[in-house]
Amino acid sequence: MQQSSAGEGELKFGTSGLRGLSIVLDGPPAYVHALAFGRVMLERSGIAPGTRVLLGRDLRPSSPSIARHCAAGLAAAGLAPVDCGELPTPALAAHAMRLGVPAIMVTGSHIPEDRNGLKFYRPDGEIDKRDEADIVAAAAKVVGTRPQAADVEILCRPGRAWGLCRPRGFHACPRRPQGHAYRCLPAQFRRAT
């Protein structure tokens, strides 16, 4: 398990991404890890500066703020964050792979409400242990870097994500989102690209 020293407190990579207390992750640590991820992707995945990186989040109260910090970090790395709003993790991952772009999902998944996390995806799927080590190393090099404002392309406005991401006549229930957004999200991105 990789432990990151970027920021205060304890954040750890485990089987499901970088995890820790929401109050620790929110702020500079989210910015630093997204910046580090962006730099690792630029160095190793064959993407160019300005490439879109999909950014999604779950319904936890801390997720919108953490996502904003991630967007700023991605922009600082020279990438173009695309705010996909609230959606299921598999929908974001599948669409990022379909488009061949990286992604970050802000999600606590199965952990307690006072915690949150970041799941990182390369253009070809979820990161591996080597990527984790490289992100931790890159994050250690930029600790102390202050977040900057990011220009984030908004595809789904906060609070209306489900309404904007579903085609006419399609009902998506946020309480049971698995599978629903997977079917409608690709159409939304085709209109946006």
Residue 158 binned pLDDT confidence (cut-offs 50, 70, 90): very low
Q: How far apart are CA 100 and CA 44, in angstroms?
A: 14
Mean pLDDT over each residue of the chain, to the nearest integer: 79
pTM score, whole prediction? 0.77
Query: Which helix (H) or strand (E) is 153 found in, with range?
Result: strand 153-154
SS3 149: coil
CB distance 183 to 173 below 8 Å: no
Q: How far apart are CA 193 and CA 179, in angstroms?
A: 22
Query: Which helix (H) or strand (E) is 140 found in, with range?
Result: helix 129-141
pLDDT of residue 143: 78
Active site residues: 109
pLDDT above 60 (res 105): yes
For the 3-157 domain, the top CATH level (class) is alpha beta
